[in-house]
Amino acid sequence: MSEAHKPVIPASRPQRHGALDPVLMMLAAMLLAIALTWIIPSGRHDRTSEKENAPVVAGTYRELPKSLGIDGLIPREARPNVARPVSPVALATAIPEGLKRSAPLIFMILMLGGMFGVLRATGALDAGIQRLIGISRGDIRILVPVLMVALSAGSTFLGLISEYLLLIPIVIAIAEKLGRSRMFGFALVTLAAKIGYLASVTSPVALLIAQPIVGVPVFSGLGFRLAIWLSFLAIAIFVVLRAGRVKTAPEPIETEPLSHRHLAILLIAGTAIAALVYGSIKLGWDDGEFSALFLASSAAMAAVARLKPAAAAHIFVDGMRMMMLAALLVGMGRAVEVILREGQILDTIIEAVSVQIKGLSPIIVAPIVMGVEMVLTLLIPSTSAKAALSIPVLGPIAASAGVSGQSTVLAFLLGNGLVNMLAPTSGMLLAYLAAAGIPYNQWFRFAFPLFLLLTGLSVLVMMLAVVIGY
């Protein structure tokens, strides 16, 4: 392979002493989930269909008999209406199951890594970044607001989250060329995406499931959510700008125009992103179609760059290796959910909370519902699964206390979005961190003060929603 065609792949960074290994964190979460199935009674609600994520039917909860003896240590096939604690053997068996259930997303992540490897190897990405920095004169007061508003808009209006894995290495490369830290680049993308998802002004991922359950029109109430998004995003932009102190001497700013070849390659990358968004919203594309798109885009970039087929194949595989840890963590995050579902304790948790909040004032119930969703997000990072499980039960309870269906959906969105900023059980967050080469505990120390501030503001938002009859 010629020197010009070698992939520009970041070297793996050694973990700092005391850094939390993401794989060990997921294993610890799985052990905790197994332990909970031995401690919490099992039970279930009826579902509207046989599908795993079908909405539950409120008022149908029943506790299931569960043996806690030595027999529970032996894995057995599940029987209807009989619960079993999850055997510790599931620490091994749940991981392949989680990987299998997450297979389309995992393949998409690997194909994304391959495409990014080809893009970096062509030199077009570095040239484009240098051109962008030159146009903005390297002023982060321009770059940060523009990039964060654009990324967060994609998240809050279109529901984009996993798609931003592609952008994390790119924005980190911009940060390092500006002499800023990797955390600065990572926070720019992650906080923009997470706050957009938290507000979900018109995000179909959350609203298409949550709002029909409580009987309100899909995408209704967007004005209040828009105000929340703009307010929270302004705070996040301020936090990122504060983190943008110069760490090393920035590289010289060059304003040379892009070559025709680099421009064509960047046009292919931009077209791929546009096709991803259009296909997701208009054509119903999913992870399988995204994988094919990334593969085709990689081939087109390699052809324009005149890479030899063997060289392009090696570069693509090296790019996939960059995302291997991220893909594994997504599957392990799903394994936690597999364990909790097998132990049948999620419905019990929902039912226990719903009993406790009956009869309370609506101004208290609304923040409590948000708090319940925060706890559930630690157990079930999946937005759609959590909506189908919790809202059919909590919605009627909240309504009986005087909390509207619209406010119940808002509590769900805020609780889900807040915890997904930090949840160690979120495979996607850990995948983000793996793509950036940043330890979880370093991100936790950075984001936790903002998490506390936004949580306090969200409590006030929920109380205000009740007062104004949202």
Q: Please check whether residue 361 lies inside any domain of the structure.
A: yes
Q: State the average pLDDT over residues 47-69.
A: 76
Report the range of poorest mean pLDDT among 163-177, 272-286, 302-316, 384-398.
272-286
User: What pLDDT does 371 receive?
Assistant: 94
Q: Please check whether residue 9 lies inside any domain of the structure.
A: no
User: What pLDDT does 47 receive?
Assistant: 78
User: What pLDDT does 462 receive?
Assistant: 96
Q: Please check whether residue 22 lies inside any domain of the structure.
A: no
Q: State the average pLDDT over residues 444-470.
A: 96
Q: State the average pLDDT over residues 209-216.
A: 86
User: What pLDDT does 13 receive?
Assistant: 46
Q: Tell me: pLDDT of 4 over 70.
A: no
Q: Tell me: pLDDT of 393 over 70.
A: yes
Q: Please check whether residue 11 lies inside any domain of the structure.
A: no
Question: Where in the sequence is the domain holding 460, given as residue range(s)?
Answer: 34-59+85-468
pLDDT tier at 5, thresholds 50, 70, 90:
very low
Report the range of poorest mean pLDDT among 44-58, 259-273, 357-371.
44-58
Q: State the average pLDDT over residues 346-360.
A: 82
Q: State the average pLDDT over residues 242-259.
A: 67
Q: State the average pLDDT over residues 10-36.
A: 68
Question: pLDDT above 70 covers what percent of the chain?
Answer: 87
Q: Please check whether residue 221 lies inside any domain of the structure.
A: yes
Q: State the average pLDDT over residues 139-154.
A: 86
pLDDT tier at 230, thresholds 50, 70, 90:
very high
User: What pLDDT does 362 receive?
Assistant: 92
User: What pLDDT does 26 receive?
Assistant: 83
User: What pLDDT does 2 receive?
Assistant: 39
Q: Tell me: pLDDT of 1 over 60.
A: no
User: What pLDDT does 238 receive?
Assistant: 95
User: What pLDDT does 456 receive?
Assistant: 97
Q: Tell me: pLDDT of 159 over 80.
A: no
pLDDT tier at 11, thresholds 50, 70, 90:
very low
Q: State the average pLDDT over residues 392-408.
A: 88
Q: Tell me: pLDDT of 74 over 80.
A: no
Q: State the average pLDDT over residues 82-88.
A: 83
Question: pLDDT above 90 covers what percent of the chain?
Answer: 21
For 102-134, what is each residue's pLDDT tens digit? Answer: 888 888 888 888 888 888 788 877 677 667 766
Q: Tell me: pLDDT of 87 over 70.
A: yes
Q: Tell me: pLDDT of 10 over 80.
A: no
HEC-encoded secondary structure of the chain: CCHHHCCCCCCCCCCCCCCCCHHHHHHHHHHHHHHHHHHCCCEECCECCCCCCCCECCCCCEECCECCCHHHHCCCCCECCEECCCCCCHHHHHHHHHHHHCHHHHHHHHHHHHHHHHHHHCCHHHHHHHHHHHHHCCCHHHHHHHHHHHHHHHHHHHCCCHHHHHHHHHHHHHHHHCCCCHHHHHHHHHHHHHHHHHHCCCCHHHHHHHHHHCCCCCCCCHHHHHHHHHHHHHHHHHHHHHCCCCCCCCCCCCCCCCCHHHHHHHHHHHHHHHHHHHHHHHCCCCHHHHHHHHHHHHHHHHHHCCCCHHHHHHHHHHHHHHCHHHHHHHHHHHHHHHHHHHHCCHHHHHHHHHHHHCCCCHHHHHHHHHHHHHHHHHHCCCHHHHHHHHHHHHHHHHHHCCCCHHHHHHHHHHHHHHHCCCCCCCHHHHHHHHHHCCCHHHHHHHHHHHHHHHHHHHHHHHHHHHHCCC
Q: Please check whether residue 73 lies inside any domain of the structure.
A: no
pTM: 0.75
Q: Tell me: pLDDT of 198 over 80.
A: yes
Q: Tell me: pLDDT of 16 over 50.
A: no
Q: State the average pLDDT over residues 456-460.
A: 97
Mean pLDDT for all residues in the chain: 82
User: What pLDDT does 365 receive?
Assistant: 93
User: What pLDDT does 278 receive?
Assistant: 76
User: What pLDDT does 78 receive?
Assistant: 56
Q: Tell me: pLDDT of 449 over 90.
A: yes
Q: State the average pLDDT over residues 23-46.
A: 87
Number of domains making up the chain:
1
pLDDT tier at 400, thresholds 50, 70, 90:
confident
- Which has the higher per-residue pLDDT, 38 or 161? 38
pLDDT tier at 246, thresholds 50, 70, 90:
low
Q: Please check whether residue 451 lies inside any domain of the structure.
A: yes
Q: State the average pLDDT over residues 290-315.
A: 88
Q: Please check whether residue 72 lies inside any domain of the structure.
A: no
